């Protein structure tokens, strides 16, 4: 641990003792889960490095950007448009929310039966262990679910730079108009923060940068439909997770390099597991770093994850933004249209999500689907039942899992997952 990093964390106001404990747990988990995998693509070394420096070198880079006058904007959700942030000469980063931390303190502010993701976001703030949060010039919350909507009222009393974005709840003409008006309001707020007016050229360039990142991820997803799978679900999830933290241009270049390697592995019939290994599509709630419990259980129980129907997966990257418009209004319409296609479980009706799950199961030759729901996440838990029914009507086995970030239920989950995999083997 360099003295430079310690000084940097101290200047950010982190609790150094708690932060050291977090990094120790994170490092041990990463070693046990990721580095213990066999036959990993060599290109994963880049992502291993990023994770080893996720609170170190990457934070230093962001702080160096701030010294040059660039603003840092933190986000909890894929509905926050990176295109608008980049167009205003700012950087968008994901914020910490994938592990239990300072839960005793959190439950002084939130009910015990609150979604684990929301409680985690509070825990990282109250525990003073998230340098991305502490270094952000603006923190963007969004009214996706009722839990978040009410939680942000409280979070606003803990941080002074919270911006809350309203989101529609219905896929309708009025819903789309609300989203467009909110993106206009966000554009104005970002311009005020940065002192940079977003122009047609800057927005078009930003759209192309973000589209390039999404296209690289699409390339990765497509390569995973091969058998044997050229990359594990854990490593593909890691790439998705890193996309929220890393410089977008550097990330895109690094992901294409690993995709080049995967194409060679496919030609050589070299996989991370044997041919005919049961193939799982993971569906449901997002999995932020370091939420690796369920994928680790699945892939140490005799199956391989070949796709993620998740915000940290295809739901968050599925569609590109049309950059063909010739006015800034046309580009803002295109940004709105792209994000309005995101099939989050907050929407009603949400038939698009059912169709996308079926399409993904077919495209990736999945033998079965595991629907992952966080405890007390009402939207995804409610949708898990129609998802299961739809899949079973199509003779695709589905296992519904409801869990949290703790490891107490790991043994029970492993037993259920192993039984499901045996079912898939027939």
Q: Determine the pLDDT at residue 426.
A: 84
Q: Is residue 302 a contact partner of residue 421, using CB atoms and an 8 Å limit?
A: yes
Instruction: Give the residue carrying structure tokens 């695709």.
Output: 396
Q: What topology is assigned to 204-320+344-425 in CATH?
A: Rossmann fold (3.40.50)
With H, G, I as helix, E, B as strand and everything else as coil, classify residue 284: strand
Tokens read off for 200: 């047609």
Digit-coded pLDDT (tens) for 167-177:
999 999 999 99
Measured CA to CA, the distance from residue 89 to residue 210 in angstroms comes to 14
Per-domain residue ranges for the chain? 3-191, 204-320+344-425
Q: Which residues have CB under 8 Å from 394's CB, separation 6+?
A: 358
Residue pair 405/319 in contact (Cβ under 8 Å)? The answer is: no
pTM for this model (two decimals): 0.96
Using CA atoms, how far apart are residues 307 and 290, in angstroms rounded to an integer? 18
Q: Consecutive sets of 10 residues in the chain, 426 residues long: mean pLDDT of each?
A: 90 96 94 95 96 96 97 97 98 94 96 96 97 98 95 96 97 97 98 98 98 98 97 98 97 98 97 96 96 98 98 97 98 98 96 97 97 96 97 97 96 98 95
* CA distance to 234, 270, 421, per residue, from 300 (Å): 11, 19, 11
Domain 3-191 and domain 204-320+344-425, same fold? Reply is yes
Query: What is the residue whose two structure tokens read 């041990």?
Result: 28
Contacting residues for 214 by C-beta, under 8 A, at least 6 apart: 317, 319, 320
DSSP character for 288? Answer: -
Cα 389 from chain centre: 26
Predicted confidence at residue 80, as pLDDT, reads 98
pLDDT of residue 96: 85
CATH annotation of 3-191: 3.40.50.11890
What is the tens place of the pLDDT at every residue in 373-385? 999 999 999 999 9
């Amino acid at each position: 641990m360099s003295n430079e990093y310690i000084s940097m964390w101290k200047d950010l106001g982190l609790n150094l003792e708690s932060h050291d404990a977090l990094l120790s747990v994170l490092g041990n988990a990463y070693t046990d889960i990721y580095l213990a995998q066999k036959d990993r693509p060599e290109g994963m070394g880049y992502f291993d490095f990023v994770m080893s420096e996720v609170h170190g070198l990457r934070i230093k880079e962001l702080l160096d950007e701030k010294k040059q006058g660039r603003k840092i904007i933190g986000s909890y959700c894929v509905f926050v448009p990176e295109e608008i942030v980049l167009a205003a000469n700012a950087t968008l980063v994901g914020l910490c929310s994938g592990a239990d931390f300072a839960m005793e303190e959190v439950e002084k502010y939130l009910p015990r039966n609150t979604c684990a993701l929301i409680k985690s976001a509070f825990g990282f703030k109250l525990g003073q262990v998230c340098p991305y949060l502490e270094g952000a010039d603006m923190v963007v919350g969004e009214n996706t679910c009722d839990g978040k909507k009410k939680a942000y009222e409280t979070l606003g009393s803990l941080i002074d730079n919270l911006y809350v974005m309203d989101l529609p709840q219905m896929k309708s003409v009025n819903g789309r108009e609300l989203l467009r008006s909110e993106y206009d309001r966000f554009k104005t707020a970002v311009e005020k923060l940065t002192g940079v007016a977003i122009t047609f050229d800057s927005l078009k360039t930003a759209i192309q940068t973000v589209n390039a990142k999404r296209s690289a991820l699409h390339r990765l997803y497509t390569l995973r439909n091969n058998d044997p799978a050229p990359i594990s679900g854990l490593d593909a999830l890691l790439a998705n997770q890193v996309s929220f933290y890393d410089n977008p241009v550097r990330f895109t270049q690094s992901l294409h390099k690993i995709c080049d390697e995967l194409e060679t592995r496919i030609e050589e019939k070299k996989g991370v597991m044997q041919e005919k290994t049961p193939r799982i599509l993971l569906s449901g709630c997002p999995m932020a770093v370091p939420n690796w419990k369920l994928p680790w259980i699945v892939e140490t129980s005799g199956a391989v994850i070949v796709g993620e129907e998740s915000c940290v997966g295809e739901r968050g990257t599925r569609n590109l933004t049309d950059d063909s418009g010739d006015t800034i209004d046309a580009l803002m319409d295109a940004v709105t249209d792209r994000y309005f296609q995101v099939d989050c479980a907050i929407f009603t009706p949400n038939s698009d999500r059912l169709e996308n799950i079926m399409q993904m199961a077919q495209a990736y030759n999945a033998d079965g689907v595991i629907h992952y729901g966080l405890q007390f996440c009402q939207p995804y838990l409610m949708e898990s039942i129609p998802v299961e029914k739809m899949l079973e009507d199509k003779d695709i086995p589905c296992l519904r899992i409801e869990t949290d970030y703790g490891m107490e239920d790991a043994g029970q989950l492993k037993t259920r997952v192993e039984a499901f995999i045996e079912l898939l083997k027939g």
